[in-house]
Structure 1
């Protein structure tokens, strides 16, 4: 086992589990079909949004999304439905979050204005795992940067306890669990969430957002509709904090 707990070597795909989907199941498969077209040798046309490919690590970067969302998407080239896919949070896959952050550079975005996010099963429009690489809401970052150290978890074991109602531009504040991490390379953020915050059967209901912190490192925000704080409630979509559409 490697020092950062990845059990597979990069580019070694695990067996597909039912939670991750099969090659041809489902209906919301625009992104997955682009991957299939590329693998079959029919991709690369103007209709295919795939703009960069890492064959060794089995992921791609796509422009926008099926509905014309702004920003970019990091999409595995192996079949992974979404956040409910057990393979992505059992240390059997590459580090998709760290990979996505590696693309936060020109022309994909600036580290000072760009965040990452993934929607819950019910809130996404595509059943192939995709991490949004998009501009974050400035109000949210300003608010998070102003929090005292005691308001944000610095260890995964405290993540579930640190609830904040985070404002965002033109939208009511939503409730998030907030963790600060020093980097995205050391741990599997999906695994940290499943191991410390929610049970396996609840992973499909989660949204996750990553925003760079002013002091260094990253805020990792998680929410689902079960959360509440005063009059505010949680959410299953990252769209409140990222300009994904």
Structure 2
């Protein structure tokens, strides 16, 4: 029994480590949907009570913990890009953002996943990181994520991951709107029913698309600064 309790505790630590949440949200898989629903429009009279993690540019935010507020990098009628809480306490220059649809979409497995989120995420990443060849976009598999609202991670590749991806990636697209379709086709060929997706720039133009059984965020990117 003691061994089972220890294993369970270790599992909880792993899950929590895979997706650091805003303050007071441990174990809540609806945080991102809550933020999209209640925290983006700060004009409402009840905003300060409805939103648990107010925008840093709202009158409700009076300073405090980094993970106690919502920092918006880019937004449109369909999507928003937020600072990931993994950036809290990191040195200047470290980047980790999340591109999220405003509509309800659970993740990679959801047929409602929007094609346009990849181009929106890429443009937001370029604004943060310039034309860095290490820019990467990643979506984790259903079984290895901490939230049930689709979110595309905006990050940098780590070390020599670029060379490894070039060896493993079998698909190249010219248009980011093709990513979901190409990824689904590749996953079917490889017999993957649950998979993550990684997108990076191709040195000769366009983008490489890689699908993975494991989390591409963990396999190929600098998801954390420490």
- Scaled by the length of structure 1, the TM-score of the pair is 0.60
CA-atom RMSD, angstroms? 2.9
- Of residues 109, 128, 132, the one that matches 1:84 is 109
Query: Where does 1:151-162 land on structure 2 (aligned, <5 Å)?
Result: none
Specify which structure has the bigger relative contact order, considering alpha-carbon pairs within 8 angstroms and separated by 6 or more residues: 1
1:163-178 matches, cutoff 5 A: 164=168, 178=170
State the Cα distance separating 1:138 from its structure 2 match: 3.3
Report which of the two has the higher share of helix. Answer: 2
Q: Residue 39 of structure 1: CA displacement?
A: 5.1
Mean Cα deviation higher: 31-40 or 96-105:
31-40
> Structure 1 residues 244 and 48, CA, compared in 2 at 3 Å: closer, same or farther?
same
Question: What is the CA distance between 1:110 and its match in structure 2?
Answer: 3.9
Q: Is the 8 A contact 1:30 1:66 kept in 2?
A: no
- 2: CA distance between counterparts of 1:50 and 1:32? 15
Q: Is the strand fraction higher in 1 or 2?
A: 1
Indicate yes or no: 2:175 matched with 1:183.
yes
Say if 2:186 is the partner of 1:207: no
**2:55 aligned with 1:63:** no
- Taking the TM superposition and a 5 Å limit, the aligned residue runs for 1:83-232 are 83-88=108-113, 93-108=114-129, 110-145=131-166, 147=167, 164=168, 178-185=170-177, 187=178, 189-198=179-188, 203=193, 205-224=194-213
Give me the whole-angstrom Cα distance separating, in 1, the residues matched to 2:33 and 2:129: 21
Is 1:73 equivalent to 2:98 in the alignment?
Answer: yes
Tell me, in whole angstroms, the C-alpha distance in 2 between the residues paired with 1:124 and 1:211.
Answer: 20
Q: What CA deviation, in whole Å up to 9, does each residue of 1:212-235 have, x standing for no partner?
A: 1222221111011xxxxxxxxxx2
For 1:27-42, what aligned pairs fall within 5 Å after superposition? 27-38=28-39, 41=44, 42=47
Q: Secondary structure at the match of 1:105?
A: helix
- The answer to whether the 8 Å contact 2:81/2:97 transfers is yes
Secondary structure of 1:221's counterpart equals strand
Which residue in 1 is equivalent to 2:64? none
> Residues of 2 paired with 1:55 and 1:217: CA distance?
24
Q: In the TM superposition, what is the alpha-carbon distance from 1:240 to its structure 2 partner? A: 0.8
Aligned equivalents of 1:112, 1:84: Cα separation in 2: 28
Shift of 1:238: 2.7
